[in-house]
Amino acid sequence: MAVTSFLDHLREIAGDVRPSIAIGGLVAVFLTLWSVLSTWRQDNRLREFKGPRLAALSRWWLIKKVGGGRAYLDFWEVTKRYGSIARLGPNDLLTDDPELMRHILNVRNEYRRSDWYDGMRFDPGNNNILSWRDEDEHFKLRSKMSAGYGGREVENRTKD
């Protein structure tokens, strides 16, 4: 009943336009609005962090700089121009603050590893201690490897 009255209302508005075309147009308008709003929401999420204007809209700026071979210099210039925490992409931030990095990389914190860590794989199909993004799997692997870093098994070890 509601669908019939909706289609009748569309016929009154559109005149001779078939309802399927009108519905298709409404769907197109809805998808366009949804795309614009989601892009705006994503842009606003990190808007308090300054950075190159193009970096806020797409990853093109970041791809261009990394592909240019001077990324380390470009990133240094960005932190000098925009501050200690700068925006490099719609979801990417850069910092030159060692204390903040220690906090972010600390064992127990609210931060989660992004897909950036996938690039730390030595073998693209297998994770290692650096590339595990799953916290439980990362913890299991760290537990297995911790004995090797403790130094207790090394005989005649000198204390520094």
Spell out the domain ranges in the chain.
1-45, 48-111, 112-151
pLDDT at position 139: 83
Q: Give the model's confidence band at 159: pLDDT under 50 very low, under 70 low, under 90 confident, else very high.
A: low
Is residue 147 a contact partner of residue 153, using CB atoms and an 8 Å limit?
A: yes
Position 150 confidence tier, pLDDT thresholds 50, 70, 90: low
Instruction: Indicate yes or no: pTM above 0.85.
Output: no
What's the pLDDT tens digit per position in 21-77? 778 888 999 999 999 888 777 767 788 899 998 888 888 999 999 999 999 999 999
User: For the segment 127-146, what is each residue's pLDDT rounded down to a tens digit?
Assistant: 888 888 888 888 888 888 87
Task: Judge whether residue 103 has pLDDT over 80.
Answer: yes
Residues in Cβ contact with 21 at an 8 Å cutoff, skipping those fewer than 6 apart: 14
**Strand-strand pairing, 92-95 and 85-89:** antiparallel
8 A C-beta contact, residue 117 and residue 133: yes
Report H helices in 111-158: 135-150
Q: What is the mean pLDDT of the chain?
A: 83
Cα 26 to chain centroid distance, Å, stands at 31
Question: Percentage helix, strand, coil, to 5, in the chain?
Answer: 60, 5, 35
